[in-house]
Chain A
Amino acid sequence: MSDNNQTGCLTVGEGVILQGTFVVPDSASISGNIEGEITARELILTSTAVIRGKVTADVIDLRGEIYDTLVARKSLFIRSTGKVVGTVQYAEIEIEKGGELQGTMQKIDPPAAPATYVVSNKPDTSDDSGV
């Protein structure tokens, strides 16, 4: 999806090891290992991806593993190979059978407007799930 316009995108290939703090304005596609902190609008982890540290994104699509802290400001989708161990904050969550979730779960309210970028002024009305 980031093939056409890679502005603000990060791609980490399988076998690549990164350490540090990463701020990705748009989409991050991770197949390698990251140690540290990563913030993105959209975070896609393939089945070979492992992140240890703090992960913050609006949308997270997880086939790999995240250890420590995960904040999904809008939605978190854990696929069957996905695994999260640690503290998880999410506005909306979905887990496929086989997905793994261990630790402290906390539901947060989705942002009324995007926090790190401005695309739309429309408030997020997708929160019909809180009841």
Chain B
Amino acid sequence: MFNKWRDKEEGDQSEESEAPASVPVKANGPTAGVLGVKSTPNGGLKPSVISEGFEFIGEIRSTGHLTIDGTVQGKLSLHSVQIGSTGSLDGDLTCETVNVKGSFSGSLDCSDLTVGSRAVLDGQLSYQTITIQRGGVVKGEMKKKG
């Protein structure tokens, strides 16, 4: 039963070469070493997951990775964030690497922003590099840093 939605999600994302939510997002990303468990970038932090159906309101601070498949409201400061296709984040996000497949609204300050084909972003977005896949929606104020 629990695996059901995850199977479904993997099916949904099959066109994208991403791993399931419970493992680090990008093989060549900053958290890649975490997969090997022995190597410990980001202070040895394991990736965290806010699962589908989970709602969180508050403040999160970490130097690690967070996958959001549920609903988050608040202020987040992390190294890397993935908002999955079922995930939504409303608030302030400060981050190095952001990969959005779901929805985001609020204020975003990041270095590397990737917007998936079904993602919707609304608000003040500040980035150094941006990639938008066809179909991704970006509304609001865009600002390039540096």
Contact = CB atoms under 8 A, between A and B. Distances in A.
A129 B129 contact: no
A99 B136 CA distance: 15
Contacts of A94: 132-134, 136
Contacts of B133: 94
B131 interface: yes
B134 A101 contact: no
Contacts of B132: 93-95
Contact of A103 (B115, B134, B135, B141): B141
A129 B137 contact: yes
B60 interface: no
Interface residues of B, number: 19
A102 interface: yes
A95 B118 contact: no
Interface stretch (A51-59, A64-72, A104-112): A104-112
Nearest to A77: B134
Interface string A91-131: 01111111111111111000000000000000000001111
A13 B121 CA distance: 37
A85 to B, nearest CB: 9
A105 B144 contact: no
A93 B121 CA distance: 13
- Among the interface residues A103, A104, A105, which one has the most CB atoms of the partner chain B within 10 A? A105
B137 to A, nearest CB: 5
23 contacts: A92-B134, A93-B136, A93-B138, A94-B134, A95-B131, A95-B132, A99-B130, A99-B131, A100-B130, A100-B144, A101-B138, A102-B142, A102-B143, A102-B144, A103-B141, A104-B140, A104-B142, A105-B139, A105-B140, A107-B137, A107-B139, A128-B135, A129-B117
Which 6 pairs, one residue from A and one from B, show the smallest C-beta to C-beta distance? A129-B135, A95-B132, A94-B134, A97-B131, A101-B142, A105-B138
Interface of A: 75, 92-107, 128-131
Given A93-B138, A99-B130, 20 more contacts: A75-B134, A92-B134, A93-B136, A93-B137, A94-B133, A94-B136, A95-B130, A97-B129, A97-B130, A98-B129, A99-B131, A100-B144, A102-B142, A104-B142, A105-B138, A105-B140, A107-B137, A129-B117, A129-B118, A129-B136
